[in-house]
Structure 1
Amino acid sequence: MASNGLQVLGLVLALLGWACGALVCAAPLWRISAFVGGELVIAQVLWEGLWMNCLSQTTGHIQCKAYDSTLALPTSAQAARGLTVLSLLLSVLAVMLGVAGAKCTHCMGDGNQASKARLARIAGVLLIVAGLAYLTPICWTAYATIRDFYDPTVAAPLKRELGPALYLGWGASVLLLLGGALLHVGSAAPGGRALPVSGAAAKPSPSTGAAGEVKQQEKSFV
């Protein structure tokens, strides 16, 4: 039987992961300016995100501007956009399917528990796929940022550090993966009924027994 508590906990974690993922996707804090060199006073800090970049000044004034062209962005940035949006859409679909297939709901009726359990398991798999899809651009952006930071050929003004959105993105990915795993584990299929075995099928027929005795006699004469 499906575990109601695991299903509800998985859905709650999935909703939290989706909310954090949507916030990370919109936030322009994926990468920030690196404080390298001998300067102690930084007048401006550059924030970079998937959809816009912002310039923060020491006076507290912040100016944000969306990217002029999507095709002009690097291939990694375009792939990160596509994967994050795809992950969020898959999460919405998975949560809808999970709510429909949860044991505590009555969307598909109470007499169709096998179909509801199967639907909830599919929702769990979709959440795991969404978590992996969201984790990919987060890890790739972090790797590229660290690689460029320690690259001596990259100029100091072009070096960047990991922004707070990346850390929140890792947390969102973990919530989606954990929510999908709990939903899948808590949606075990109900046990099927064993088919009865008739006595006639279990016991050998007289003709079968006679045929066996004839074969044994033939083998003894050979």
Structure 2
Amino acid sequence: MSNMFQEILAFILTTSGWVLVSSTLPTDYWKVSSLDGTVITTATYWSNLWKTCVTDSTGVSNCKDFPSMLALDGYIQACRGLMIAAVCLGFFGSVSALVGMKCTKIGGSDRNKAGITCFAGVNFILSGICSLSACSLYAHRITSEFFDPMFVAQKYELGAALFIGWAGSILCILGGSMLCFSIADSFSESHRQVKYIYKGTASHSHIASYPRGQQQSANQRPPPDYSNSSRTQHFDKNVYV
């Protein structure tokens, strides 16, 4: 029963993490222009993995999609690939976890369900690693440009999408690890049950190996009767005659 509750909790964590990771792809604010050293702000620049935008002082935003995928910087291409891989792995992990959980009636035997749940846990862990790598790579590029004194272009700060992606990645990794540990516990429990059944079967076959009427063990045989001792002998009255 504890393994079932652990699987349910792990499924909630991993699904929530996958939803957060998926929501970072359409989120606009991956990086926002820095206001450090500026007194009057006339425009705010922000961008994500797909477009770059500017918002003026009146609140009107103008966006421009990246014109060419091959002309993009390498880190943006890498972040795109990692985030798409994270979303796909999380989707397959969610379906596999739903099939392999003990509280569902699909997936076959307990051994098959355990393998499917372990596969789901590995998928969630890989999804969290991919998302964590993408957000960290993007954040590293922003911070390196911000603290570079030789960089004279527009400097940016970390956007809200990066923090959402980090939170979703941690939930995916944590939930996937819980799924894998729940499978390890169930395997050890089933091994103990099989061992107990094997011992019971072996003892039963050992008792049944005796012939009929001789199944009583040597330790349970009745003690010998010493009431008629050999020292007490009854002779005929004419034995000395």
Same fold per superposition (TM over 0.5): yes
Asked if residue 159 in structure 1 is aligned to residue 155 in structure 2, the reply is: yes
Alpha-carbon distance, 1:95 to partner: 0.8
- Larger C-alpha radius of gyration, 1 or 2? 2
Aligned to 2:122: 125
Asked if residue 114 in structure 1 is aligned to residue 111 in structure 2, the reply is: yes
Aligned counterparts of 2:65 and 2:16: Cα–Cα separation in 1: 27
Deviations 1:154-195 (A, max 9, x none): 01x421111111111110111111111122222332513134
Alpha-carbon distance, 1:2 to partner: 6.9
Partner amino acid, structure 1, of 2:60? H
Asked if residue 171 in structure 1 is aligned to residue 167 in structure 2, the reply is: yes
Alpha-carbon distance, 1:67 to partner: 1.1
Structure 1 contact 2–117 (Cα < 8 Å) conserved: no
Deviations 1:181-212 (A, max 9, x none): 1222223325131345686xxxxxxxxxxxxx
Aligned counterparts of 2:107 and 2:157: Cα–Cα separation in 1: 49
Structure 1 contact 101–108 (Cα < 8 Å) conserved: yes
Asked if residue 89 in structure 1 is aligned to residue 92 in structure 2, the reply is: no
Q: 1:56 to 1:169 in 2, by over 3 A?
A: same
Partner amino acid, structure 2, of 1:104? C
Alpha-carbon distance, 1:65 to partner: 2.3
Q: What is the TM-score of this pair, normalised by structure 2?
A: 0.76
Deviations 1:37-69 (A, max 9, x none): 3x3111111111011122112211122222111
Report the number of matched residues. Answer: 195
Aligned to 1:13: 13
Q: State the SS of the aligned residue for 1:116.
A: helix
Aligned counterparts of 2:169 and 2:57: Cα–Cα separation in 1: 33
Partner amino acid, structure 1, of 2:119? I
Please provide the CA RMSD for this pair.
1.7
Aligned to 2:147: 150
Q: State the SS of the aligned residue for 2:98.
A: helix
Could you list the runs of 5+ residues in structure 2 that have no partner in the other structure? 207-241
Aligned counterparts of 1:91 and 1:21: Cα–Cα separation in 2: 9
Partner amino acid, structure 1, of 2:102? K
Alpha-carbon distance, 1:71 to partner: 0.7
Q: What is the TM-score of this pair, normalised by structure 1?
A: 0.82
Aligned to 1:215: none
Asked if residue 134 in structure 1 is aligned to residue 166 in structure 2, the reply is: no
Identity level (%) = 30
Deviations 1:127-159 (A, max 9, x none): 11110111001111111211111111101x421
Could you list the runs of 5+ residues in structure 1 that have no partner in the other structure? 200-222
Aligned to 1:46: 45
Query: Comparing both chains, which one has the higher relative contact order based on Cα–Cα distances under 8 Å and sequence gaps of 6 or more?
Result: 1
Aligned counterparts of 1:72 and 1:28: Cα–Cα separation in 2: 21
Structure 1 contact 134–173 (Cα < 8 Å) conserved: yes
From 173, 177, 181, the equivalent of 1:181 is 177
Aligned counterparts of 1:60 and 1:186: Cα–Cα separation in 2: 51
